[in-house]
Structure 1
């Protein structure tokens, strides 16, 4: 309701349904491709290599991971196409979404000459992005073929830079920035996107893999304890990157706290902030409550408890995180324009004090995350040695 009311404020327009669907779908596609590939390489693959788990358990997880990555390729391909159509529909004076789906319209958009002063045509960048997107999606889709699945590790390693390039290419400015802020804007924007989709997409992959628990042996709890531990480090880095980049983006577009509930942009951003805080809270629950209990069960060699914690309790919490993450992606299309322009505030201009504050925030956040990891580790050790734990 608030979003609908905010749509009547100056310079805020509620996005069309096709815009909501295409943008949400595109970020779902990026989450599926980037998040699952990075998580497989950073958490699943090394855990499988380090574990002395039964070959049958490893085979089950590898088959599920390969199938998930293949479907992620399908989603990326479809979402990428509709995102391109949406860009065509919004180009210039705009056109109906249905008209923008015409091949001729798409070709004209990609072949448009460079704007005056631009070092490259914007359409050329989008053409390059979509070539990489199609190639990456096809490579992932190839994992449906059993013969290709035997090379899952090598394909996933090659897919990491390729999937990242899909979004990074789109963030390259067609016109060379002349101000420092205009250099930093795409850097922070892409940092926000990549860290966010790795976080959400990684959670989704692990939930999908955990669904194989009925086909795993009781000893698989030890393997999953390692997977969750490794992904917790990945998620912690993502939280830090999302926070720092999000603060920059918010400062650029929000001129005061009151604009969070008096502008359309601000209300949408506020909803997103609450959803992200929910994600962080769930992650903290994992770090301070579940991980110490997993360590205790591991130390006691209690296979039944370890299986229960890692493959029943932990995935339930992560399912909630996935739902919150998808909700964030649904809200993203509503965060359009700028609260500053809606409220008539001056544009944000950085100076030495802003950068000094930014450095202080980065240091403070790094210390906070380090302390979080240390506290979680201490709680795990205390649980493992049987001492009372204060959580």
Structure 2
């Protein structure tokens, strides 16, 4: 078979518009639910519960957090239904997406028997996922009610594991993977998704909360300094998870550096990588420049400067990261197939040396993130220069 013939067999096919919208929307829904609940639980809630937080600031941020989480539940519910319909349309090649939206067709899809050799049917897996999704959305949507908002912490902590389970359940294999590397790919794919949704969804939540600065007091800079400090640690963990899992997934789908610009998949992946690195660079600016300035302003008791840095300057950088993250979500639906197959190359083979190199890269990356955190702390500990 000639190279031209092989390229024709493995040619890239652009997804239909409905698949692009449903897949992007589904990840937006996951970012809203997973990212917002994790960030609220790990970052916002502890700061609001601190005895030094002013009551008016706490009330304002709790109201805005509850409203954001409630709308995140609505988005996930709609996006989840559309994603399920897309799976129905994908399972029946000639079924128009509009017809796949019918509840009867979706129910038939969920009740389909298991394939030969499968321990459970794919429809059952999606049925369990849908039930968990509805429960997560119910907990979040209930926050529209004033009475439920008094139980914001409990509802957010209930929705958190349910939201994470939504993506994990969907990837449960219906048959035992014959290749151990395939099982590892499933795990790392979920690490990639959860890490990315917490990172991007957390940024979006905090950017939205920072927009409430007009309703906050003059000492809100202290509260927000703690919020940004806590989230910086969460973001570092997410960056490590995304980059380490991304290295493995890139190796599985890209056979050489050249395939990044000689294949459609590779070029789209290159665009995604560029935007992710842009987010990392913006986060690095926060770590090495803004966070130390915030810490020094706090040490100097410079209330006005602290308020400006935490609620005006910092959110501008965060909104830039959110915009890049939205671009990443826009590219994801187009990443179908692999650069290896489009280039006519062989399938990847996971050997001991591949795992060794991967482990070395992961340890190097973890060490670099640790150094980043310690360097940021060292810059923050610099003495505030005396004023004349």
| TM bracket, shorter-chain basis | over 0.9
Indicate the residue corresponding to 1:227 in structure 2.
Answer: 227
The worse-fitting range, judged by mean Cα deviation, of 236-245 and 49-58 is 49-58
Counterpart in 1 of 2:4? none
Which residue of 1 is the match for residue 340 of structure 2? 340
2:203 alignment counterpart: 203
CA distance in 1, matches of 2:92, 2:350: 30
- Is the Cα contact below 8 Å between 2:299 and 2:384 reproduced in 1? no
Q: CA deviation at 1:227?
A: 0.3
Q: Verify the 8 A CA contact 2:255 2:340 in the aligned structure 1.
A: yes
Q: How many residues align?
A: 380
Query: CA RMSD for the aligned pairs?
Result: 1.4
Mapping 1:93-132, distance limit 5 Å: 93-132=93-132
Where does residue 183 of structure 1 map in the other structure?
Answer: 183
Q: TM-score, normalised by structure 2?
A: 0.96
Q: CA deviation at 1:8?
A: 8.4
Q: Distance in 1 between the 2:308 and 2:94 partners?
A: 54
Distance 2:219 2:72 in 1: 29
SS of alignment partner, residue 13 of structure 2? coil
Following the alignment from structure 1 to structure 2, what is the Cα–Cα distance between the partners of residues 70 and 144? 6
CA distance in 2, matches of 1:102, 1:237: 41
Quick check: 1:143–1:152 contact (8 Å CA) kept in 2?
Answer: yes
Deviation at 1:178, TM superposition (A): 2.0
Query: How far apart are residue 94 of structure 1 and its match?
Result: 4.2
Counterpart in 2 of 1:321? 321
Mapped partners of 1:251, 1:320: distance in 2: 29
Deviation at 1:132, TM superposition (A): 0.6
For residues 152 and 115 of structure 1, what CA distance do their matches in structure 2 show? 43
How many Å apart are 1:285 and its aligned residue?
A: 0.5
Match of 1:250 in 2: 250
Within 2, Cα distance between the matches of 1:370 and 1:129?
Answer: 36
| Compared CA separation, residues 9 and 121, structure 1 to 2 (3 A) | closer
Aligned to 2:80: 80
Q: Distance in 2 between matches of 1:101 and 1:221?
A: 48
- Once the two structures are TM-superposed, the CA of residue 16 in structure 1 deviates from its matched residue by 1.0
Query: Shift of the alpha carbon at 1:264?
Result: 1.3
Q: What's the CA shift for 1:197?
A: 0.5
**1:1-391 equivalences in 2 (<5 Å):** 10-382=10-382, 385-386=383-384
2-side partners of 1:8 and 1:140: how far apart? Answer: 47
Deviation per residue, 1:187-208 (Å, 9 max, x gap): 0110000000000000000001
Question: Quick check: 1:9–1:264 contact (8 Å CA) kept in 2?
Answer: no
- What are the Cα deviations for residues 203-245 of structure 1, in whole angstroms up to 9, with x where unaligned? 0000010011001011000000000000000000000000011
Q: What's the offset of the Cα at 1:361?
A: 1.1
Calculate the TM-score normalised by the size of structure 1. 0.95
* Contact kept in structure 1, 2:137 and 2:159, CA below 8 Å: no
Q: Tell me if structure 2 keeps the 8 A contact 1:22–1:86.
A: yes
Q: 1: distance between equivalents of 2:148 and 2:224?
A: 25
| Deviations, residues 71-93 of structure 1 (Å, cap 9, x unaligned) | 00000000000000111111143
| Alpha carbons 1:9, 1:263 under 8 Å: kept | no
Partners of 2:315 and 2:210 in 1: CA distance? 7
Question: Does the CA contact (< 8 Å) of 1:33 and 1:163 recur in 2?
Answer: yes
Describe the shift of the 1:9–1:311 C-alpha distance in structure 2 as closer, same or farther (beyond 3 A): farther
Please say if residues 36 and 205 of structure 2, whose CA atoms lie closer than 8 Å, have aligned partners that are also in contact. Answer: yes
Conservation of the 8 A alpha-carbon contact between 2:68 and 2:205 = yes
The structural deviation recorded for 1:136 is: 0.7
Query: Which runs of 5 or more residues in structure 2 are unaligned?
Result: 1-6
CA apart distance, 1:99? 1.5
